[in-house]
């Protein structure tokens, strides 16, 4: 029973996370965060943030896209019909 609970808790940590470095990467701590909107288990994008626009003309920045706990909770409550993710751009 403990093994099943441990395995289930690992599934709730995060579905995915990836980071992209543009130019030299973030030079400061200024962050901009937006949600990306997908439907049907993330297969069809409805509204996806533009990281270049979020960087506001900066040449060096870092883009971190992930499914946070809140995103996963919302996705599970809608049975995957709405599956958001979060993008953070650090300049």
Structure-derived torsion over alpha carbons of residues 44, 51, 53, 89, reported in degrees to the nearest 10: 140
Q: Containing domain of residue 84, as a range?
A: 2-90
pTM: 0.78
> Which tens digit of pLDDT belongs to each residue from 26-72?
999 999 999 999 999 888 999 999 999 999 989 999 999 998 889 98
- pLDDT value at residue 45: 93
The number of distinct structural domains making up the chain is 1
Distance CA 47, CA 15 (A): 19
């Amino acid at each position: 029973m403990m093994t099943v609970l441990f395995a289930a808790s690992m599934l709730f940590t995060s579905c995915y996370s990836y980071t992209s470095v543009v130019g030299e990467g973030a030079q400061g701590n200024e962050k901009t965060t937006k949600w990306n909107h997908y439907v049907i288990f993330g297969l069809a994008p409805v509204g996806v943030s533009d990281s270049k626009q979020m960087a506001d003309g900066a040449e060096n920045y870092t883009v971190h896209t992930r499914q946070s706990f809140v995103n996963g909770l919302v996705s599970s409550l809608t049975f995957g019909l709405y599956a958001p993710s979060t993008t953070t751009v650090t300049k």
